[in-house]
């Protein structure tokens, strides 16, 4: 069986059980920060430093697993949790609420299903396909079986089986099926998508929390939620990521609600490559206090103009080609006049003694093709321990270059997949 490598985007989606009508043009759902009190992951006993430290560790592990062998107009609430973001969705008729991790770095929608042979513990009731009148298992010979690439024919009969393997070695196995997916919009109506392809998992394990049921893939592949509902909503979505400690929630928007425009908006080409799962941009360079640095060590297929960086809301840190990172680190260390300290976990290179946000952080601008994105101090430094602030960028190889979610905080980011554009707009995500 082929292996599918994906990454966790850090959203939770809960499917709605309320009846309602579809909204013309677009809709919005809540996007919940993983560490928000609204999040099922919320642990009131953890300190903010513990939460950020765990997010950094997950980001390092996620980056270590990414490589050349990687696979190939509604809205929802977004909630932050340990550097992840969560959405709420629903499956079946009548709909059963499902708590899933929303992941822009993978495609398949899946949830644990009864009867489950080997499953991680979850607090919420497990989805029972026998209770849904719209549930159908897909035949291996059906075109819908081919929507997800890692499928095989079941030993018993001709049913379509899937195997999703993630970079941290978490996995899910089960049957490809179709059912009605419901998204609860911010208008509290339920928007239904009949015959949506998803995975009904009977063998699932890994780094899953007891309060989640699976994953909702938001990548660019054919099996993702974005691709499956895109025909109805113009293949557009947008989100606004809160800072980790923000107790509120922001929105995941679809269709006309996902349009990003107005003062401060900049746009850059959104590049489609193989695999279609990932969203690629062209990174041309980075400026530190108006001194610009460009990367030149990568092979032609990894340089600007060819889609040389993945934008990923599921990875906390931003990783850069090593030569570019070393120039940036040197410039930042020259610009920051604070005592240097060691990262207690040994993950990050550049750390300082600071009790809060850096008072005078260096001015850092990321130069994408056609779009200069000026970052704030909280986009570039994270507090991983009391009195310790570390630079949220790390060195990497050319095939593991990622624009992480710390750099995306408090930007409204719109994906126009059909138009091939991605837009950034500075925003207060608590109000989006």
Domain chopping of the chain, boundaries: 11-256, 260-431
Distances (CA, A) of 104 to 27, 28, 161: 18, 17, 23
Phi-psi category of residue 370: left, alpha or beta, with phi > 0 → left and psi -120 to 50 → alpha: left
> CB neighbours (10 Å) of residue 44?
5
Task: Determine the topology of domain 11-256 in CATH.
Answer: Cathepsin D, subunit A; domain 1 (2.40.70)
Catalytic residues: 103, 312
- Tens place of pLDDT for every residue, the chain, 432 residues? 333 333 333 344 333 333 333 344 677 777 666 566 666 555 655 555 555 555 555 555 555 555 433 333 566 777 666 556 777 788 999 999 888 887 888 899 999 999 998 999 998 899 999 999 999 999 999 999 999 988 999 987 899 999 998 877 889 999 999 999 998 776 667 889 999 999 999 999 988 878 788 898 999 999 999 999 877 788 899 999 888 777 777 788 888 889 999 999 999 999 988 889 999 999 999 999 989 999 777 767 677 668 999 998 878 899 999 999 999 999 999 999 999 999 888 889 899 998 878 888 999 999 999 999 999 999 999 988 888 999 999 999 988 899 999 999 999 999 999 999 999 999 998 877
The closest of 182, 313, 249, 237 to 40, measured between CA atoms, is 249
- Dihedral pair phi/psi, residue 4, rounded to 5°: -110, 120
pLDDT of residue 10: 38
The domain 260-431: what is its CATH number? 2.40.70.10
């Amino acid at each position: 069986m082929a292996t599918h490598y994906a990454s966790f985007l850090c959203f939770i989606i809960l499917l709605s059980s309320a009846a309602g009508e579809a909204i013309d043009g677009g809709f919005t759902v809540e996007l919940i920060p993983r560490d928000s009190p609204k999040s099922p992951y919320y642990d009131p006993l953890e300190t903010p430093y513990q939460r950020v430290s765990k997010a950094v560790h997950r980001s390092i592990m996620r980056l270590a697993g990414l490589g050349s062998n990687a696979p190939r107009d509604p809205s929802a609430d977004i909630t932050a949790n340990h550097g992840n973001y969560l959405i709420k969705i629903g499956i079946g008729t009548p709909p059963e609420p499902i708590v899933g991790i929303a992941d822009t770095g993978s495609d398949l929608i899946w949830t644990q299903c009864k009867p489950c042979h080997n499953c991680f513990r979850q607090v919420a009731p497990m989805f029972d396909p026998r209770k849904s009148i719209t549930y159908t298992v897909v035949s291996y010979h059906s075109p819908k079986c081919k929507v997800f690439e890692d499928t095989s024919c079941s030993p018993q009969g001709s049913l379509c089986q899937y195997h999703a393997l993630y970079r941290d070695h978490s996995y899910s196995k089960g049957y490809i099926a179709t059912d009605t997916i419901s998204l609860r919009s911010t208008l509290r109506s339920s928007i239904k998508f009949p015959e949506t392809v998803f995975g009904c998992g009977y063998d699932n394990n890994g780094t899953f929390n007891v309060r989640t049921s699976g994953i909702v893939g938001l990548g660019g592949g054919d099996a993702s939620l974005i691709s499956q509902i895109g025909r109805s909503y113009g293949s557009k979505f947008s989100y606004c990521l809160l800072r980790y400690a923000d107790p509120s929630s922001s929105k995941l928007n679809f269709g006309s609600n996902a349009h990003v425009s107005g003062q401060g908006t900049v746009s850059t080409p959104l590049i489609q490559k193989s695999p279609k799962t990932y969203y690629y941009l062209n990174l041309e360079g980075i400026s530190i206090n108006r001194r610009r640095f460009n990367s030149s060590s990568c092979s032609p297929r990894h340089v600007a103009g060819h889609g040389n960086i993945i934008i990923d809301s599921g990875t906390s840190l931003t990783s850069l080609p090593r030569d570019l990172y070393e120039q940036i680190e040197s410039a930042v260390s020259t610009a920051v006049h604070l005592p240097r300290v060691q990262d207690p976990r040994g993950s990050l290179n550049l750390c300082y003694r600071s009790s809060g946000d850096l008072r005078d952080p260096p001015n850092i601008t990321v130069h994408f093709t056609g779009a200069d994105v000026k970052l704030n101090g909280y986009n570039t430094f994270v507090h991983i321990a009391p009195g310790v602030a570390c630079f949220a960028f790390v060195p990497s190889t050319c095939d593991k270059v990622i624009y992480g979610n710390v750099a995306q905080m408090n930007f409204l980011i719109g994906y126009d997949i059909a138009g091939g554009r991605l837009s950034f707009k500075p925003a207060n995500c608590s109000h989006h």
